[in-house]
Each structure stands twice: as structure tokens, then as C-alpha cells.
Structure 1
Amino acid sequence: MKCKLVDVFTKQKMSGNGLTIFYDYDVLSQNKMLSLTQEMRQFESIFVSEVLSKSSVRAKIFTVEEELDFAGHPIIGLAGHLHEESGDVNPRTWQIVLNKKSVKVKTKKSGDYFYASMAQGKPEFISILSENDKHAVLRALNLTSENLADYPLEVISTGLPYLIVPIISGIEKARILLPNFEDLLANFGAKFVYIIDIGNFEGRTWDNLGAVEDIATGSAAGPTAAYLTKHQLASVNKPIIISQGRFLGRDSEIEAYVEAKDNVITNIWISGDVAKVANIDFV
């Protein structure tokens, strides 16, 4: 089976968020794709099906627990890989067709790595948590009101709904303590949580069991950028740099760009570098 290993949101190998790109998912069962993702022990893997055209492919994304309808770093990584495979020295535009949406990605070659920009579209502002709900979430994340910034906890989606938790301190102690954390998030319409230190734009997130921390989360960067600009913590129509992965020794850098006209967000671009690591042959 043809596979590629790349690192995403980094210019250097053995840094950023690792991604395995598998081919020929049409001959694999859902359980097999899940097993392969678990074998690689990465936060997500992506499986490529038919090539729909010279610039369009169909793909599926899996975590170690389930299939996702959308995710960030697998799409950025796949687009960089597709550009490398094409051999084109000029900028390219790709369509990645997922279960419920098609994602536009622009790529360009830059030295030994590729730079990819994904259009996440307009954000959906889903809910703002009450005071009681806010304190329940803080307890579940090993945080207190002293750690919290003076802004609301809010659920926002650009494909996956994230509960954005803005803090001013305590990012190093944050972790998921609640066994049924996913059920708590579901009460607010969220799938995952993303903690953002608004002082230096550093983020953290985990699987909902709290067992695996993600290194760099493109699907959370869009909602986070929407949150930061909504509350005037960052500017629209300017790059916003979000760092992640420090606590895993895999420093990563995600660039967000919120396009807005007359104070209305029209699109959010999430960008990052992709470095090729290895070709893999599964037997």
C-alpha cells in the first residue's frame, strides 16, 4: 500500500504535526482505516480515494477513535503532498472532497517544503456558555476562574465545532479531568475544546478522553481566529500566528487570516508549511 509521511505546520522534519497519507481507501473497510490510524499513533490520518481530476481528490479523515467529516492538518498535509507529486513548480489550487464538504487549498513550493493555505469559509457562532457551564468546564480542564481571561467561553465552527476557552495563565497545567468530557461538550454543541492563551496566542487541545494531546490543530485555528477577531484581540485582514505543540516537544506554527468586509467575516484561511519525511510501504 502506497503511503507518505509528512510533518505539517513546520518547515523541518521531525517537528510539527506528523501525518500519514494512505492511498486506495476504496479497498479498505472503515475498521481497517481505523486500525491503520491507530497503528501510526498520530492524532489523525488521511486516506485518499479516486483522483477526480488533475486538481481534485476524494479523501477520508480518521482519528484513533473515529472518522471525522473535517480536520485541518490532514488537509494541509495532503495538499502539500499532492503538489510534490505533481512536480509542478508553479502555485496550484486543489479541491479536497470530504464526506460533507469540499475544501479549497492553495499550495506553492518553497525550497525543500511546501506552503498550503486552506479556505475554511465563514465561521458559525453557535453558543456562549452561562456562568454555571463556564465553571463546570474550567473544573473539567483543571483550571480556575483566576486562569480565565475576561471574555466568554464560546462554541464556534468552521467545519468542526470547538469550545474556545480564553485564558491568561495556567496553560501548562491544563488537562482533561472529566471521564465523560465529550458529553459535557455536547451540551453546548461542541465536539472538541481549544484552550488559547490570549497573551501569546498559544493553544492546546486533546482527544476527549484526555489521553492524546494534539500537536497542531488546523480545524481549531479557524474558530480561534474568528473568536480573537470578534473580541478585538486580533485584527482582521492581517496574519494571526497561533503556536502549539510546545508541551510535546513538537513546536508548530499555524497562520490564520480572517477576511472581513464591513466588519463581517467572509472567509478564514488557515496556512502552514509541509515537510516530506518518508515513503512507506505497508505489506
Structure 2
Amino acid sequence: MSSPSARSRPFHQVDVFSGEPYRGNPLAVVVDAEGLTAEQMQQFANWTNLSETTFLLPPTDPRADYRVRIFTGSEEFPFAGHPTLGSAHTWLESGGVPKSGGFVVQECGAGLVRVKHDAGRLAFAAPPLTRFGPVGGDLRSRLAAGLRVPESDVLDASWLVNGPEWIGVLLGSAEQVLAIRPDFAAMGDLKVGVVGAHKAGAGADFEVRTFLPGDAIMEDPVTGSFNAGVAQWLINNNKAPHEYVAAQGTVLGRAGRIHVAADDGDIWVGGHSTTCIRGSVLL
């Protein structure tokens, strides 16, 4: 039974990072979240049983177009990638008009994030990494054990924190990435993303997989925050071209495609978003 104070609020469920509906990463969006407490948001996010649920609110920063709060089933994130694109898509589809003609400006826990139209897709400017640096020693060995790969196959590993505390692992090929069968017990509470290059002509330049701990340890279908961090890491270290496409979700039967481009000091992370469910919720 809904709360006596509940009211009908517009609700969308959006598929993000795939040009094919139902092949990307789903996101639940409550379009008008004014008056909801953090506890109510967290409870609803847990109930949707999706990786993230977002709540759109009026901005508190006059430079922003809207404010978003991003919840997993168990915690609030200051920033996440596919919720940023899906929230911007929903805000625009719901009649939002940007204050600046060139960009949508999202306010979130990590600050202001710019979102732009790019070749029929939306793309966000990757926020700065708040922790970045090599991973070595015992932690590197633990990563190799958790991924069930020889430590010699780990070409590089780095902290890539931009909200979620990602560790990025670079392997020698996309085939190695696709072959991973993780040992989640060895991985413990680490948030780990893995990337490897595809051969020319594969349709994508890199293959990405991400593994998250939580109430139910899982592999994420498509992960914008990790792709934002790994793009900064690889491009700035000349390990990736300034423009590329990454595939993610292949092992899960998804067809995620993340479009990355470095432009005038910014790294833009983009993909398609499609509204799959539109209605209302009582909250």
C-alpha cells in the first residue's frame, strides 16, 4: 500500500548505451522528485531492482538545468555515467529546455556535468578523477586472482575514481577480456573494470567488462563512469586513440556501445538512449 501522502509522479524507464532497445543498460527515472526524502528514494531504488534509479529535482546551482540524485539498490552515488545520459535524455524528453543552447548542465553530488548532443547521441564530459594512480604489489596480485588471469597478463592497473571507486585493469586483447570468469570471493569488495583491444575490423576498438560487489555481486551491462575513467587513463597515456568505440555487455547478451572522443581538453563519453517505459508511480 502506498503512503497516504504519496502522489502520482511521472516515471520513465530508459535503455542507455545501445542503439537497439533492450540491449543496453536500463535506468529508472522519477521525473519529479520534489518532497521525497533520501530514505524514500533509497527504498524505491531498492524496489526497482535495477543497477541505478535517478530522481530529478530543481537545481540549487543557478548554472544547472536540473539536479539529479543517483541511487543503487543500497547506496547513493555522487556521479554515474549511464544515469547521467538517461536522466538528461528523460529531462529533455519531458520538455526541459537548456539555459545554454549548447549544453545541458546537470547538477549532481560530484558537481556540474555538461551533456551535449553528438551525432544523434548524448555525451557527457568526463568529470575529473579524484583518485588516479598505479596499482601494484599485493593488490595487483589480488586483482589477477579475482579475474583468474596470470599476473603477467595484466599490462597495467590503475585507480580510476570519479564517484565509484573503480580500479581499471588493462589486458592484452578483447579475447582475454571476454574469457574472464571471475572469482568473486577473491575480488571481495573491489569495483573492477577490465579493458582489452579488439582486432581491426571487429566493429569496436575495445571490449570492456565491469564487476561490482554489493548485496548481489554482479557484472554491470554497460558502465559510463568506468568508461569515463578508463578513457582518461588510456588516451592520456597514448594507449588509445583520441576517438574510439568500446563494446560492453557482450557476455550478458547485451550490445552496449560507448562512443569516446577527446576534444579540446575534454573527454566526451556518449551513447544512445531510448525510452522503453513511460507512465507514473505513486511516491
Query: Which bracket does the TM-score occupy, shorter chain normalised?
Result: 0.7 to 0.9
1:24 equivalent in alignment to 2:28:
no
Q: CA deviation at 1:172?
A: 3.0
Ranges in structure 1 where 5+ consecutive residues have no aligned partner:
186-191, 261-265
Q: In the aligned structure 2, how far is the partner of 1:68 from the partner of 1:176?
A: 25
1:68 equivalent in alignment to 2:73:
no
Residue 215 of structure 1 aligns to which amino acid in structure 2? Answer: P
Residue 210 of structure 2 aligns to which amino acid in structure 1? Answer: T
Q: Which residue of 1 aligns with 2:12?
A: 4
Q: Which residue of 2 aligns with 1:234?
A: 240
Q: Which residue of 1 aligns with 2:107?
A: 97
Q: In the aligned structure 2, how far is the partner of 1:17 from the partner of 1:104?
A: 21
Q: Helix, strand or coil for the counterpart of 1:25?
A: coil
Ranges in structure 2 where 5+ consecutive residues have no aligned partner:
1-8, 199-204
Q: Let me know the Cα RMSD of the aligned residues.
A: 2.7
Q: Helix, strand or coil for the counterpart of 1:174?
A: coil
Which residue, 116, 122, 129 being the options, matches 2:122? 116
Q: Output aligned runs, 1:253-272, within 5 Å.
A: 253-259=257-263, 266-272=265-271
Q: 1:255 to 1:176 in 2, by over 3 A?
A: farther
Q: CA deviation at 1:79?
A: 1.2
Cα deviation digits, residues 77-112 of structure 1 (max 9, x gap)? 111222222387xx75211111231111113694xx
Q: In the aligned structure 2, how far is the partner of 1:99 from the partner of 1:123?
A: 14
Q: 1:38 to 1:179 in 2, by over 3 A?
A: farther
Which residue, 208, 212, 225 being the options, matches 1:203? 208
Q: In the aligned structure 2, how far is the partner of 1:85 from the partner of 1:253?
A: 25
Q: 1:244 to 1:227 in 2, by over 3 A?
A: same
Which residue, 221, 224, 229 being the options, matches 2:230? 224
Q: Which residue of 1 aligns with 2:65?
A: 56
Percentage identity across aligned positions?
A: 22
What is the TM-score normalised by the length of structure 2?
0.82
Aligned length: 261
Q: Helix, strand or coil for the counterpart of 1:86?
A: coil
Residue 159 of structure 2 aligns to which amino acid in structure 1? Answer: V
Q: Which residue of 2 aligns with 1:141?
A: 147
